[in-house]
Amino acid sequence: MAHLWRGVIREYMDRLDIKSDNPIITLGEGGTPLVQAPALAKLVGAEAAWLKFEGMNPTGSFKDRGMTMAVSKAVGHGAQAVICASTGNTSASAAAYAAAAGIQSVVLVPKGKISLGKLSQAVAHKAQILQVKGNFDDCLRLARELSENYAVHLVNSVNPDRIEGQKTGAFEVVDALGYAPDLHVLPVGNAGNYSAYFKGYQEDLEAGRIYKIPQMWGYQAEGSAPFTVGHPVAKPETIATAIRIGNPASWDLAQNAREVSGGRFGAVTDAEILWMHRFLSQEVGVFVEPSSATGAAGLFKASKAGEVAAGSKIVVTVTGHGLKDPMWALKDERGKEIKPTSVSAKAAEVAERLGLSKSS
């Protein structure tokens, strides 16, 4: 009989910091596919590669794993409203989980710098949306200040409940493979998810489910790469708007994760991100938003420098769905718009346009 996935809190109750009588607000998040990616393994010269396809979550990104925990606990504390700063995915998720809980959500987004798909999700789920004249880092500063002084509960990843929920991504990888990969690769913005996967692997190690923690490899966009330059960046810039973050909230957690796991941080150009975005959709069959291709782009860059060991088993988390920001798929390598050809509804003409030869 098919097993109906019950959401990450019920599936991993005994491993999460939540009391058994806490209300559970869930949309069935988690249980996402671990997709075999032989084309990526071949490209980077690894033994095997998988994509943890987080676009398959209810609101189309990994944020839902953390939001089920954060909103459930907010409701448990009696909160009537939640607030977040967001480059788009956190706000989409917060708005959906607040709707499910029957409470208000307030979202602060950088004006003009979030994708239409994500903005439409926040509107659809009836969030109170304010576009702030500033970047994500300004929005987060505001959200923190408001939550400290007003009756509104903060659900950004500075709230440890978010990290706690997101660590289930690592649990699922281990449950699916039966072991930990050699490398785990992710895109990095605030480094909440990077830190969360590390926490999950660390707990699996302590529980004896695995015998080593994967090297944690985190990649940012070059114009927005505080971990590579070693300090916050005042004016982050990249087409990968989800990770256009200059002052990562989980700085210390991430540095610890990198050090303990023997991992690394790196940066790739917007062009390298878009190239990998296309490779994943065309050669692997997984459509992600550009930011989500940043980890795989970094892995490819490292492989070209001879830094990926031949026998490696690699998991790459692809964080958000391609439909979040579909315009990038409709451009070719040079940024020129791609428009399907129009034809009349006649078989002969269609066949000619397609270059089909007659069957014998």
Task: Catalog residues that contact ligand AN7 under the rule CB under 6 A.
Answer: 61, 86-90, 157, 187-194, 242-243, 289, 291-292, 319-320
In angstroms, what is the minimal distance from the CB of 166 to ligand AN7? 8
In angstroms, what is the minimal distance from the CB of 320 to ligand AN7? 3
Can you read off the two tokens belonging to residue 57?
């979550």
Cβ nearer to ligand AN7, comparing 86 with 168: 86
Supply the DSSP string of 227-293, one letter for each residue: HHHTS--SS---S-GGG--SS-TTHHHHHHHHHHHT-EEEEE-HHHHHHHHHHIIIII---B-GGGG
In the sheet that 153-154 helps form, which strands lie side by side, from edge to edge? 128-132, 104-110, 81-85, 153-154
Cβ nearer to ligand AN7, comparing 38 with 232: 232
Cβ nearer to ligand AN7, comparing 91 with 303: 91
Cβ nearer to ligand AN7, comparing 260 with 356: 260
Contact assessment for residue 217 and residue 266, using Cβ atoms and an 8 Å cutoff:
yes
In angstroms, what is the minimal distance from the CB of 119 to ligand AN7? 12
Cβ nearer to ligand AN7, comparing 45 with 326: 326
In angstroms, what is the minimal distance from the CB of 156 to ligand AN7? 7
Q: What type of residue is 238?
A: T
In angstroms, what is the minimal distance from the CB of 359 to ligand AN7? 44
Cβ nearer to ligand AN7, comparing 117 with 320: 320
How many whole angstroms separate alpha carbon 271 and alpha carbon 246?
20
3-state DSSP assignment of residue 35: strand
In angstroms, what is the minimal distance from the CB of 68 to ligand AN7? 16
Supply the DSSP string of 124-191, one letter for each residue: HTT-EEEEESS-HHHHHHHHHHHHHHSS-EE-STTSHHHHHHHTHHHHHHHHHHSS--SEEEEE-SSS
